[in-house]
Amino acid sequence: MDYDYIIIGAGSAGCTLAYRLSENPAHRVLLIEAGGKDWRPEIHIPAAYSRLHHTPMDWAYSTVPQPGVNNRMMHQPRGKALGGSSSTNCMAYVRGNKLDYDEWAELGNRGWSYEEVLPYFIKSENNEQIHNEFHGQGGPLNVTKSQHYVTPLGEAFIQACESKGIPRTDDFNGAEQIGAGFFQFTIKNGKRGSTSSTFLKQAKNRPNLRILSNTHTRKIIIQDQKAVGVEVQKGKNIRNIYAHKEIILSAGSFGSPHILMLSGIGNQDHLSDVGIDPIHHLPGVGQNLQDHLILGLCSTTDQPVSFNTKETLGNLLTYLFSKKGPFSASPLEACAFYKTDPSLDRPDMQLHFAPAHGSDMHDHTSFPRDHDGYSILPTLIRPKSVGEITLKSSDPFEYPNINPKYFSHPEDLEIMMRGVRMALELFKTEAFAPFIDKISMPEKYDTDEDLLNHIMDKVETCYHPVGTCKMGHDEMAVVDDELNVRGIANLRVADASIMPTIISGNTNAPTIMIAEKAADFIISKKSIPLQAEKSI
């Protein structure tokens, strides 16, 4: 069977696109996902998300050795199931800073200023608590503050931030991003609200939408500089499927450039080197990789107030029967955005706060179950280091080389050090006095050398890779401002890879916004009026 639209990747963007494109019963839509169905209970139990790493639900990518962090090869989790990374993330709903989007527009991307993208955030949203001009009600994506389980530690964190000059806020996604407050989450009635359990659930029974899971996309079929179909593999069966209107690539910041290059679209010299016949020279494919780095600092407490000691049969039964208790909440609780330099135009540091502690945030077995603790996690949200994705070979099942080049720009390490020092100051505030036992990680923190060693040993990705199919009009741009792949007809990219610069915060909500805007382009064939050329 042929289709009008083929969407590659059923993640945060792909599920959103499938929902919007299939609203019109005349559209025949195919959604292809390399992973399986989102069946594991840990996906839907908010507190269990860390148990999804290194499972069949995780692509479990790894970087090449990173000179900036003691040559470590760093785990890069990506969701491999319906819902993609929205089925495996920590469910934080954060949009970033207004100036992030205005910067995209200033780079020449028409229609992407904050004022122009805000309606697409609102369109998706059903915010339970906040009813104002910045938020929406009635959208598929439920957004809420944690209601069924809150520890006293989150409030202590917010008060500690206030004592250090970071104001309290009730909404990072409203009039002002700077501040400390409780997170908003994509959770509904104590269950994760991935794009699969929200957008796709409402669309999957439509007769004009077909979903192929466990189906690997080998390449896009290009004829006469036009995308006409996809070559897919399920098990040992390889076949071609054709699209009459468009193919939309939503495989993420690792998957989308990988598939483009396998299809012969990318830097022609690199493609030739790995045995792929170049079809279209587009040197920016795989370049411009940007990511947020996060680092845990932990304290133990002698009070039974954290998640560490809450994994009990009683709490599990409470969750199963009422969807309440600690299992109903994300292991994150609060957050702060602030500037490490007052002269900056927007925050460059985010402090995640988790009422739990462990030695490795990617490994749930590192979180002790016999005593309580909490973590402050400085997060570098305006990194200047830029990396790349390249192919190892022409084998569609061989993972690409992922090289974020962490800390290749020296200012990134300086800013992370400032964030670490702020976290240590917060531990010592009066607000945490009733809860602090001792700082348990890092073990040594008295000197800059101690802090540097901790960063080198423990800093990790915050799961926010973006930018590898960037939007723009320069020679390294991969898509234009309507997300069309430059030089190839009927092919778009719509996911976090199109971000020209990384946003100042968690990336799931912006990725959904990108898909909403892409759907509008596709359905209405909108063209943004060309701006008159300025005389020089």
Which CATH number belongs to the domain containing residue 273 in this structure? 3.50.50.60
Rounded to a whole number, what is the largest CA-CA distance in the chain? 72
Is pLDDT at 360 greater than 70 in this prediction? Answer: no
Taking alpha carbons only, the member of 185, 190, 235 closest to residue 213 is 235
Instruction: Write down the pLDDT at residue 529.
Output: 38
In order, the DSSP letters of 418-455 are: HHHHHHHHHHTSGGGTTT--EEEESS--SSHHHHHHHH
The answer to whether residue 401 sits within a structural domain is no
Distance CA 426, CA 430 (A): 9
Question: Per-residue pLDDT tens for 408-431?
Answer: 999 999 999 999 999 999 999 999
Same domain, 280 and 321: no
Please check whether residue 113 is in contact with residue 63, taking contact to mean a CB–CB distance below 8 angstroms.
Answer: no
- The owner of tokens 């060309």 is 530
Q: Determine if the peptide bond prior to 331 is cis (ω within 30°).
A: no
Share of the chain above pLDDT 70, in %: 96
pLDDT grade for 526, boundaries at 50, 70 and 90: very low
Same domain, 283 and 243: yes
What is the rounded average pLDDT of the residues 493-516? Answer: 98
Taking alpha carbons only, the member of 495, 505, 428, 474 closest to residue 249 is 495
pLDDT grade for 309, boundaries at 50, 70 and 90: confident
Residue 364 φ/ψ, nearest 5 degrees: -65, -20
Instruction: Write down the pLDDT at residue 90.
Output: 94
The answer to whether residue 59 sits within a structural domain is yes
Alpha carbon distances (Å) from 239 to 13, 30, 235, 457: 25, 14, 11, 45
The sign of the CA dihedral 315, 320, 321, 323 is positive
What is the rounded average pLDDT of the residues 360-369? Answer: 67
3-class SS shares of the chain: helix, strand, coil, % to 5: 30, 25, 45
Residue 363 φ/ψ, nearest 5 degrees: -130, 105
Residue 141 φ/ψ, nearest 5 degrees: -95, 110
Share of the chain above pLDDT 90, in %: 88
Number of domains in the chain: 2
What is the rounded average pLDDT of the residues 336-344? Answer: 97
Same domain, 168 and 233: no
What is the average pLDDT value for the chain, to the nearest integer? 94
Same domain, 411 and 509: no
Is pLDDT at 531 greater than 60 in this prediction? Answer: no
Question: Per-residue pLDDT tens for 109-158?
Answer: 999 999 999 999 999 999 999 999 999 999 999 999 998 899 999 999 99
pLDDT grade for 367, boundaries at 50, 70 and 90: confident
The catalytic position among 352, 371, 464, 473 is 464
Catalytic annotation present for 464? yes
What single-letter DSSP state applies at residue 281? E
Kindly report which listed range (267-271, 327-331, 507-511) carries the lowest average pLDDT score.
327-331
Same domain, 478 and 488: yes
Instruction: Write down the pLDDT at residue 532.
Output: 30
Question: Per-residue pLDDT tens for 64-107?
Answer: 999 999 999 999 999 999 999 999 999 999 999 999 999 999 99
Distance CA 41, CA 60 (A): 19
Same domain, 196 and 246: yes
Same domain, 485 and 337: no
Q: What one-letter code names the amino acid at 65?
A: P
Which CATH number belongs to the domain containing residue 453 in this structure? 3.30.410.40
> Greater confidence, 209 or 364?
209
Same domain, 374 and 426: yes
Instruction: Write down the pLDDT at residue 311.
Output: 87
What is the rounded average pLDDT of the residues 487-496? Answer: 98
The answer to whether residue 243 sits within a structural domain is yes
Taking alpha carbons only, the member of 113, 109, 114 closest to residue 174 is 114
Same domain, 259 and 125: yes
Same domain, 361 and 345: yes
Residue range of the domain that includes 302 = 148-182+293-382+407-458
Question: Per-residue pLDDT tens for 13-68?
Answer: 999 999 999 999 999 999 999 999 999 999 999 999 888 989 999 999 999 999 99
Question: Per-residue pLDDT tens for 288-300?
Answer: 999 999 999 999 9
Same domain, 440 and 450: yes
